[in-house]
């Protein structure tokens, strides 16, 4: 893990296309601005983790559930 110290208004570059700006610091909270290509998804970690959990759950659907669905649809 790389640990950097930055002040308000300073930034960190990740490659050529992603920049992270330190916008504000209040107590133990830091406000970040993130500049990235539109096709690069940017999530808070807890949201990112939830998306992956939902994807794993969807991948575990039993094959029989699809048979029931096709029977109901005709």
Residue 72 confidence (pLDDT): 78
Q: Give mean pLDDT, residues 15-42.
A: 96
Residue 24 confidence (pLDDT): 96
| Spatial separation of the C-alpha atoms in residues 64 and 10, rounded to whole Å | 55
* pLDDT tens for each residue of 31-67: 999 999 999 999 999 999 999 999 888 887 676 666 7
Token readout for 10 is 């300073």
Residue 58 confidence (pLDDT): 81
Mean pLDDT of the chain: 90
Q: What is the DSSP string of 40-67?
A: S----HHHHHHHHHHHHHHHT--HHHHH
Residue 60 confidence (pLDDT): 79
């Amino acid at each position: 893990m790389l640990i950097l110290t930055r002040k308000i208004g300073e930034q960190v570059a990740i490659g050529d296309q992603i920049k992270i700006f330190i916008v504000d610091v209040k107590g133990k909270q830091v406000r970040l601005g993130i500049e990235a290509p539109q096709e690069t998804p940017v999530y808070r970690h807890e949201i990112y983790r939830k998306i992956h959990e939902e994807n794993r759950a969807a991948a575990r659907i039993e094959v029989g559930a699809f048979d029931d669905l096709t029977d109901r649809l005709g």
